[in-house]
Chain A
Amino acid sequence: MLQNIAIGQYVPGHSFLHRADPRSKLLFIILFATLVFLANNTVTYAVLVAFTLYAGLLSRLSLGYILKSLKPVWILIVFTIILHIFLTKGGAVYFQWGWFTVEERGIQQAIFISLRLGLLVVISSLLTLTTSPIDLTEGLERLLGPFGRIGVPVHEIALMMSIAIRFIPTLMEETDKIIKAQTARGANFTSGSLVKRAQSLIPIAIPLFVSAFRRAEDLALAMEARGYRGGVGRTRLHKLAFSWRDAGIAAAGVLLAITIGWWRA
């Protein structure tokens, strides 16, 4: 039942985006997010939408995959649209019914703000769709590296993330087993009031926690036995290396920044 859940949403492939360095993808997303918040007129939004569509093409993923990423936020987007149409006033009045009006600014903001949300979600899922969780962790660790000098436990955070990636499927399987075991004992997880259902999660959560702690203890011992002694003096199997693709991404970032800066109102 839970077995089929993929870790993250990574879809393996060999496209331009798949093969770019995770560090440049991460840095680009930070830049892109800033630019999305700087965009404030039709031209700048059009440029960002066009760019995002092009990036989508570069990932060689089907449109379906990319649009699926919008699923968790579509309610938020619809809500934003309604809120702006009803509440933001200004400009020409398109529609009037008693005190209720739909005005130009309202329509404009509805479109801009929902685009803003949509663009951010799509571009960050392009990252997670084309980057394996391991590479992502690796990229984060390297990017955050300099913060290690001011006391941020960068290596530990990255190790924690990769251990989480390793153990999510194991714990999923275990949850599945516990649910089955408790169901066999007559537990009911699918009906009853919300409170009842929440209560019925307790017999799942407790054994899961107990076993997770046991696993953590075992793992710590196994890591120590294999000579683990923290991040100092450690080498890494995966060596990240920039390529011409990353130069391309950097150029695209600079170009995009200039365009938005030039055309924003």
Chain B
Amino acid sequence: MNEENLLALQEVSYTYDDELGSRVPVLKDVDLTIQKGSFVSVLGHNGSGKSTMAKLMNALLLPEGGKVLVAGMDTSQGELVWEIRRHVGMVFQNPDNQIVGATVEDDVAFGLENMGVDPAQMRQRIDEALASVGMEPYLLAQPHRLSGGQKQRVAIAGIMAMRPSVIILDEATAMLDPQGRQEVLQLVRRLNRDEGITIINITHFPEEAVYSDKVVVMNAGEVLMEGPPGDVFNQVERLKAVGLDVPFAVRLRHMLAAKGIDLPFVLHQEELVEHVCRLLLTR
């Protein structure tokens, strides 16, 4: 395996039993590699298997076929589970339902307590982790007094304290207001850039994927597309066919093209504005 690949799924398949006892394949021979230090976005509509894939990545689920490798460790080797979960942190959708501690410091301590970290060292790691998400003033706050975005930042601090290699956000911004979503996104972008943490952001919002190194599109348990955001979002019709939206700038350019106005491909709204203005001036 390539050293640069922090995470690798090799022909991974997974099946759930539904209520009637029949077997529903949820992942079908998925191959995927995640490079160390990269920012990856995963798109796909409900039920396409995104959460299942995330759970396979930190041994919450074990693959039925194929292999999941985390930093070279096979998740199906029982004794490695704890080390794998330390490497791969997960932030879930509902901010309320993932905070265990009655205060912020207790919550950040939870993972460290599970790891058996020495209490004296714990203090320092909690302070560092809270500083890295900008929540130091809330050390003793009760979680229910925080905003949704702040709760998600506390959840991220709880992971950062464990010194992870990867943070997977499973629709962690879905229940937040626009401001909370910005807070969380800016934070993970900064952790990716400054601390070299690999980020896997599972999301419904195509706008969130614009800044990533790689976009993975899931459909019906398979990887439908995979590549840099420019390449993936350029295939507007193909995405539309599986019920997925594209970033606003891409959609607008596509609509203008249908009306015979050709503009260069861009991902960001500001660039599109630029091109439109230039076009208006030169006409």
Q: Footprint of B on A, CB under 8 Å?
A: 7, 133-134, 162-163, 165-166, 169-170, 173, 214-215, 218-219, 221-229, 233-239
Contact = CB atoms under 8 A, between A and B. Distances in A.
A235 B113 contact: yes
Interface stretch (B34-42, B116-124, B188-196): B116-124
B143 interface: yes
Given A221-B60, A225-B89, A227-B162, A235 B96 contact: no
Nearest to A218: B97
B85 interface: yes
Given A134-B106, A169-B144, A170-B144, A236 B119 contact: yes
Q: Binding site of A, secondary structure by majority: helix, strand, loop or mixed?
A: helix
A221 B51 CA distance: 12
Contact of B96 (A215, A236, A237): A215
B87 to A, nearest CB: 10
Given A166-B101, A218-B97, A225 B85 contact: yes
B114 interface: yes
A36 to B, nearest CB: 31
Contact of B144 (A173, A221, A239): A173
B99 interface: yes
B144 A227 contact: no
Contacts of B106: 134, 162, 237
B90 interface: yes
Contacts of A169: 142, 144
A235 B100 contact: no
B138 interface: no
Nearest to A133: B102
A227 B111 contact: yes
B86 interface: yes
Interface string B103-147: 101100111111111110011001000000000000000111000
Interface string B217-261: 000000000000000000000000000000000000000000000
